[in-house]
Amino acid sequence: MVTVELDKVDEIIDRYVGEEGILIQLLLDIQSELNWIPKEALERISERLKIPVSQIYRIASFYKAMSLTPRGRHIVNVCLGTACHVRGGPRIMDRAKQILGIDAGETTPDMKFTLERVNCLGCCALGPVVVVDRDYHGKITPAKVKEIIETCD
Ligand code: FES
């Protein structure tokens, strides 16, 4: 169960009250503060700025930079493209799932990690590849996955 920090949402809305055409920037600020945009935040914006929720939802679901599902502070991408797959990608994914206690596509309850599968990161010769946030790690082993995850603060 994810707790939504509505006080932070309110602080961000306060910055924009009375201004025109600020919805996208406001949503980006919430995304940046919370790493995602909860339904409760959409409702709060709607209520305070008198904008229909459907309009806010349309914008939030259109932009790739905005997520309507919880995202952790760290995004762990495990490549399961063909080259990484044959080099042991599935074992890496299994180890990451086991360490984090979540499935691919999920976020840990403490909102620290989101685990995702990707299909080719364009550096197949380094496979299997894991990318944590923006750092690429090649020729990964299950033991190395643990090490990388443990060094995230
Ligand atoms: S298949 Fe993993 S980087 Fe290409």
Q: Which three-class secondary structure string do you get for the chain?
A: CCCCCHHHHHHHHHHHCCCCCCHHHHHHHHHHHHCCCCHHHHHHHHHHHCCCHHHHHHHHHHCCCCCCCCCCCEEEEEECCHHHHHCCHHHHHHHHHHHHCCCCCCECCCCCEEEEEECCCCCHHHCCCEEECCEEECCCCHHHHHHHHHCCC
Q: Are residues 49 and 100 in the same domain?
A: no
130 bridge partner residues: 78, 137
Q: State whether 92 and 138 are in the same domain.
A: yes
Find the domain containing 102 and state its range. 74-150
Q: Which atom of ligand 1 is nearest to the CA of 126?
A: 3
Residues flanking ligand 1, CB < 6 Å: 79, 81-84, 120-124, 127, 129
Is residue 40 domain-resident? yes
pLDDT for residue 79: 97
Q: Are 136 and 83 found together in one domain?
A: yes
For the CA of 118, the nearest atom of ligand 1:
2
Q: What is the structure's pLDDT at 67?
A: 92
Residue 72's CB is within 10 A of a number of other CB atoms, namely 21
Domain containing 99 — which CATH number?
3.40.30.10
pLDDT of residue 2: 59
Quickly count: other Cβ atoms within 10 Å of residue 71's Cβ: 18
Number of domains making up the chain: 2
CA of 78 to the centre of ligand 1 (A): 9
Cα of 116 to ligand 1 centre, how many Å?
A: 14
Distance 79 CA to ligand 1 centre (A): 6
Cα of 113 from ligand 1 centre, angstroms: 22
In whole angstroms, what is the distance from residue 118 CA to residue 20 CA?
38
Is residue 98 one of the residues assigned to a domain? yes
Residue 20 in domain = yes
Parallel, antiparallel or unpaired: strands 113-118 and 74-79:
parallel
Look at residue 4 in the predicted model and tell me its pLDDT.
72
Q: Is residue 67 part of a domain?
A: no
Predicted local distance difference test score (pLDDT) of residue 70: 87
Q: Are residues 78 and 143 in the same domain?
A: yes
Q: Judge whether 1 lies within some domain.
A: no
Ligand 1 atom closest to Cα of 89?
A: 2
- What backbone phi and psi angles, to 5 degrees, belong to 93? -60, -45
Q: What is the pLDDT of residue 58?
A: 95
In a domain, 55, yes or no: yes
How high is the pLDDT of residue 134? Answer: 87
In a domain, residue 68? The reply is: no
pTM, full prediction: 0.78
Same domain, residue pair 112 and 81: yes
Q: Which residues of the chain have pLDDT under 50?
A: none
Q: Same domain, yes or no, for 86 and 123?
A: yes
Residues 91 and 56 occupy one common structural domain: no
